[in-house]
Structure 1
Amino acid sequence: MRKISILIQMFCALLLVTSCEDDNDDFKVSETAPVVLSNLEITNIELDQANPNNPAVTLNWTSANYGQQTAVFYNVQVSSDAAFTNPVSVTTVNTNSATLSINQLNSAVGTAGLPPFQWNAAYARVVSTIGTTASMPVPSNAITFNVYPYFNYPFKDYYIVGDATQPGWNNNNNNPPLFRDGANPNLYRYAGFFAAGQFKVLEVKGLWQPQWGTNGGTAINVNPGGGSDPGTFPYNNSAIASAGYYTFTINYGNNTFSFEPLSTVGAENFSSMTIQGTSTGNTAMTQLASDNHIWYANTVHLTQGDLKFVSNTSSAWGGSSSFSGTATSNGASIPVIVEDDYDVWFNDLTGHYILIPLNL
């Protein structure tokens, strides 16, 4: 009897294994027919910069059918062309509709390459997939609409203040900006003349907070508003002992700074500097009173195009990055990608430049 019982148990176990294998073989998915994305009731969408969180458009589509009860996801994409050469993913949902906010749609069409402040044709589609690995993607039909986007200025600008600087302890006195690195948006420099004294960094001209300084070492500290102000640069309330040229570098990525002497041996002094290019007529720049290597022009209207900095000796500097970067002698023209009024600053000692839009 014991032998018969063991044989029966072995037979049941074999049936169980076979049953499990059959179940696995039966779970098969098939490629779905493309879902159908409905046309929009409106074809012209003007994006309102003042209300970025308001809904811009709602997209609706039919359900995908992969032949099994499985998790289906829908990725909403936009593009600047009907072929979706470089599609931009906006959102992924597991429902049959998605409402895009003004900011979402504006960011997506901007990433797709559509220029701001003019009507452009945009395209949308939905790509269905299964599982968390987005398997078996199938794109829907494409729909088109016209969109009028605004420009998202993605950068922060910072300004120096203090008795070691040109504006003194006045937070709204044409305070010179820090020059943002063209490749690393967290890295800023100011290479120029500092008087004996101290300084801090402000985020908004005319406001004392947010205010940046140091409480010691090479670490930076901030009072974002309502707290205690940090100590001054460069040495936690200890002044610069000797007036001269220095390079102040601040990295908001790792919250550190440095302050080092800067040699000006062999540097050429220019008597005038102009902005020239397709973005503007010849625009004269003003030399900073305390530093004959720093030039500025306030509230300059620039159109889409390019520009260079040209001295009285016909020396010309250009760069490849928009808004800020390092210009080189006879370099490529600096691209101006959006029309606006700008404060423009240029350092002929280092080639640093920054174009700060006033209305974006």
Structure 2
Amino acid sequence: MKNIKKFSAVTLLGLILLVFNACDDSSEKFEISSPTAPNLEELNFSRLELDGVNTNNEAITLNWTEATYGQPASINYAVQFSNDEAFTNFTTATSVTGKTATTLSVSEVNTAVGNAGLNPFSWEKVYIRVASSLGTQNSEIVNSNVISLEVYPYFNYVFNDYYLVGNGVAPGWNNNNNNPPLFRDANDENVYYYTGLLTNDSGDYNEGRFKVLETKGLWQPQWGEAKNEGSDDPSESGKVAGNPGTQSGDPGRFGVSTTGYYSFTIDFAKREYTLVPFNATGKNSPASLTLTGTSTADVTMNQLSFDGHIWYANNVKLTPGEVSFLTDAGANWGNTSPFSGIATNGGGNIPVVVEDNYDVWFNDLTGNYILIPLNL
């Protein structure tokens, strides 16, 4: 009996190995025939004006026939937009799997045509196709036919702008007095900077103070030190609070104990700030500064009387093109980042992507600039 049991065990092991080897056999492969591309149906209209107010409304519904690959499979479909029929530079508006139709909202179409390179506030043609593929690696891509329509996009200014107010900064406690803006980080829309003169000549506890407003002329929303007023000792770092951002009452004040140049950084995502001294020794301002470029006739920038390192020009009409800051000595300060960034001498031209009236600000201590549209 012992021999029989041993033989049975060996036999069983062999059968198990045979099964596993059969499972590992890769001789049978998933094969597809020549794919048949999806066919994208023409739209029953040729022009589409996008409404910048009702952005969640449906804009277009796209329908197409199913692609075939000769095997039952779940097929991916990417809806692509381009500003040329060759799809030299295209963007994917949406992707679906196992479906042959999709509906895009006004905001989704506006984003897609903007990413495809169409300009806002003008009628321009956009080209649309559907690309089918298989699997998570999007293999065996096959493109549909191309359809087109004329689109009138709006411009969606997605940034927040913030302004200084307080007795330690230029406007005093006046919420509509050409209040200097904070300069937004070009790579992180939650981070803002201001480097400049803050005053507290008396050393008084309630002097050298400031807060941050979101809209000139309005006291709320406002941002400040998370500690309540009276407990808001001047500090080089701390937490940020806002009314109504974090609470119903007004926050405390940022502040400095002595007059000098400081760098203020605020991160609205982390709700944190730093306020540290800045060495401005030897940093001289140009005698004059001019906003120049294809977007405007030359505009003379004004120095803030409170702090000559801060320059501004209000309500400047800019058209699509580019601008830079030209000094009297011939230095040409710019960058390739629209709306905000850090300009350097010879750093390129600042793109103006949409026509509007702008408040333009420049800091010659840091090269920070910001172009704030007034009507978007």
* Smaller-chain TM-score bracket: 0.7 to 0.9
Q: State the alpha-carbon separation in 1 of the partners of residues 154 and 18 from structure 2.
A: 66
Structure 1 residues 101, 161: CA separation in 2 closer, same or farther (over 3 Å shift)? same
Q: Do residues 172 (structure 1) and 183 (structure 2) align?
A: no
> What letter corresponds to residue 211 of structure 1 in structure 2?
Q
> What letter corresponds to residue 283 of structure 1 in structure 2?
V
Q: State the alpha-carbon separation in 2 of the partners of residues 330 and 64 from structure 1.
A: 51
Q: State the alpha-carbon separation in 2 of the partners of residues 232 and 244 from structure 1.
A: 21
Post-superposition Cα deviations, 1:31-85, rounded to whole Å, max 9, x if no partner, equal: 5300110111112222121221112211111112233433223211111222222
> What letter corresponds to residue 222 of structure 2 in structure 1?
Q
Q: Do residues 227 (structure 1) and 229 (structure 2) align?
A: no
> What letter corresponds to residue 306 of structure 2 in structure 1?
S
Superposed displacement of residue 248, structure 1: 0.7
Instruction: State the match for 1:204 in structure 2.
Output: 215
* Contact residue 35 and residue 140 of structure 1 kept, 8 A: yes
* Contact residue 242 and residue 251 of structure 2 kept, 8 A: no
Select the residue among 147, 151, 154 that pairs with 1:143. Answer: 147
**SS of the residue 2:160 aligns to:** coil
Instruction: State the match for 2:111 in structure 1.
Output: 107
Instruction: State the match for 1:359 in structure 2.
Output: 375
Q: State the alpha-carbon separation in 2 of the partners of residues 35 and 282 from structure 1.
A: 53
Structure 1 residues 104, 247: CA separation in 2 closer, same or farther (over 3 Å shift)? same
* Contact residue 209 and residue 225 of structure 1 kept, 8 A: no
Instruction: State the match for 1:55 in structure 2.
Output: 58
Aligned length: 356
Instruction: State the match for 1:346 in structure 2.
Output: 362
* Contact residue 37 and residue 141 of structure 1 kept, 8 A: yes
Instruction: State the match for 2:166 in structure 1.
Output: 162
* Contact residue 269 and residue 292 of structure 1 kept, 8 A: yes
Post-superposition Cα deviations, 1:189-240, rounded to whole Å, max 9, x if no partner, equal: 1111112221122222233333222326533233335824464343xxxx42
TM-score between the two structures when normalised by the length of structure 1: 0.86
* Contact residue 243 and residue 251 of structure 2 kept, 8 A: no
Post-superposition Cα deviations, 1:254-297, rounded to whole Å, max 9, x if no partner, equal: 43321111222223245543322221112222222311111111
Q: State the alpha-carbon separation in 2 of the partners of residues 18 and 265 from structure 1.
A: 78
**SS of the residue 1:110 aligns to:** helix
Superposed displacement of residue 87, structure 1: 2.2
> What letter corresponds to residue 135 of structure 1 in structure 2?
S
Instruction: State the match for 2:39 in structure 1.
Output: 36
Q: State the alpha-carbon separation in 2 of the partners of residues 137 and 17 from structure 1.
A: 34
> What letter corresponds to residue 86 of structure 2 in structure 1?
A
**SS of the residue 2:45 aligns to:** coil
Q: State the alpha-carbon separation in 2 of the partners of residues 274 and 162 from structure 1.
A: 29
Structure 1 residues 28, 350: CA separation in 2 closer, same or farther (over 3 Å shift)? closer
Superposed displacement of residue 343, structure 1: 0.6
Q: Do residues 91 (structure 1) and 94 (structure 2) align?
A: yes
Instruction: State the match for 1:70 in structure 2.
Output: 73
Q: Which moved more, 1:326-335 or 1:12-21?
A: 12-21
Alignment root-mean-square deviation, CA: 3.2
Q: Which moved more, 1:241-250 or 1:211-220?
A: 211-220
Superposed displacement of residue 101, structure 1: 1.1
Unpaired runs of 5+ in structure 2?
Answer: 201-207, 228-236
Q: Which moved more, 1:225-234 or 1:95-104?
A: 225-234
Instruction: State the match for 1:318 in structure 2.
Output: 334
Q: State the alpha-carbon separation in 2 of the partners of residues 32 and 122 from structure 1.
A: 27
Q: Do residues 185 (structure 1) and 194 (structure 2) align?
A: no
Structure 1 residues 17, 274: CA separation in 2 closer, same or farther (over 3 Å shift)? closer
> What letter corresponds to residue 358 of structure 2 in structure 1?
Y
Q: Which moved more, 1:250-259 or 1:99-108?
A: 250-259
Q: Do residues 248 (structure 1) and 259 (structure 2) align?
A: no
* Contact residue 287 and residue 293 of structure 1 kept, 8 A: yes
* Contact residue 241 and residue 247 of structure 2 kept, 8 A: no
Superposed displacement of residue 318, structure 1: 2.4
Instruction: State the match for 1:300 in structure 2.
Output: 316
Structure 1 residues 20, 165: CA separation in 2 closer, same or farther (over 3 Å shift)? same
Unpaired runs of 5+ in structure 1?
Answer: none
Structure 1 residues 144, 247: CA separation in 2 closer, same or farther (over 3 Å shift)? same
* Contact residue 215 and residue 230 of structure 1 kept, 8 A: no
* Contact residue 128 and residue 139 of structure 1 kept, 8 A: yes
Post-superposition Cα deviations, 1:318-352, rounded to whole Å, max 9, x if no partner, equal: 22222111222344232222211101011122221
Q: State the alpha-carbon separation in 2 of the partners of residues 80 and 270 from structure 1.
A: 42
Select the residue among 76, 79, 82 that pairs with 2:82. Answer: 79
**SS of the residue 1:108 aligns to:** helix
Identity rate, percent: 49
Instruction: State the match for 1:130 in structure 2.
Output: 134
| Structure 1 segment 254-333 matched on structure 2, within 5 A | 254-333=270-349
**SS of the residue 2:298 aligns to:** strand
Superposed displacement of residue 30, structure 1: 3.7
Q: State the alpha-carbon separation in 1 of the partners of residues 264 and 13 from structure 2.
A: 80
TM-score between the two structures when normalised by the length of structure 2: 0.82
